[in-house]
Structure 1
């Protein structure tokens, strides 16, 4: 599996420390890039300095979930909340621009139906315009166990929205963990949607642990991903088994 590149998702890995510290640890651990969830508590200038110091790129970050205490999980597919949704997009674009992040995952939120879909598409059009040509806007189908009620749950639904929105910088985040839970057949669905995939993530199924056990055989799956021409870093977005310091034995198995 030589030459596979991996990105440490610092939303889950080393998430007990400030983001700049986590970036440095990820570099020392041998990761090729980093990504995060909500970096807003850390100063963009300090994050940028850590990225420059390590030479790592921040592949992506998420828009704010809204009111987490009220169970919110994004704002962009919530009809009537456009003003807040666009403020969250503005915040993400500004932060991403300051740290030269490659992508922004625009979180849809908990909703359903045609009005939610229209709101989502309009907010995504806004995000794509705001982001310009240097930042990719990503949408991610989430499984209904981890994210019950989330607007976007399947790869096919995401592909449909991307087609309708028709923006060159709108892509799909293809997380094998979520895709396996929401229907499986992961390598065929990856291949079918490859033109609209902007980032790939992995974790074991069903425990969302390190990608070396469970239902999916990543030694096969990632080989197929590479055969299909995917050369960019794969996001390691998994929950470490014993606290925030991850077991990285799996990483060595993908090296030459």
Structure 2
């Protein structure tokens, strides 16, 4: 079988520790510092920075100006003080196969992004975040550290997900909804606890989830709601504060789950 040579622009800087697969493209002014592993057919657009132990799966695209493996705050300080080189940032960052990371996005160290994930422009994934297969993350979304996002999730433009949140499979998050984790607004010492959204739940645009609340399976939260207490499975909540209004109609189903199953089956 004929091998495909990789193309590395003359202005790119690639560490001797990096491994580059077949058929890759590394664009102008790309900087790879550390033991990165680029599998076959990876496309790295111009002005991308890759730091530390990063694996990028086959046929994944990284857009212009992205950073993959950005150091967390403490590690950045150690780099600036000369304690560690930026090529040796702690933690391992993994991007799966066939992912799309659009321009301006920042992925911190110790993040796992599974196969077939798409990120919009200017997305931020902070340290210790995990994103499941076939999930779509819209433009200007921020997912703060130690948060988990399941499979087949749709996160629309401008969503903010606070540290310690958990989002299960096939969840829909409408544009500009906000997760919070500090009930006392930095006025009292308290345990930080992000919201949990269970499988197949839907959250409407501009809604706010307060610290520690759980939205149950198949539930729906209306637009601009402020959720201050748990939402029971299969119910519809809306209002300020959000209150239970009725059961989810029998004919409703999860289109995200159906699409995920078709994609996984190659249909």
Q: Which structure's residues are more often helix, by fraction?
A: 1
**TM bucket normalised to smaller:** under 0.3
Taking structure 2 as the reference length, what is the TM-score of the superposition?
Answer: 0.23
Higher relative contact order (CA 8 A, sep 6+): 1
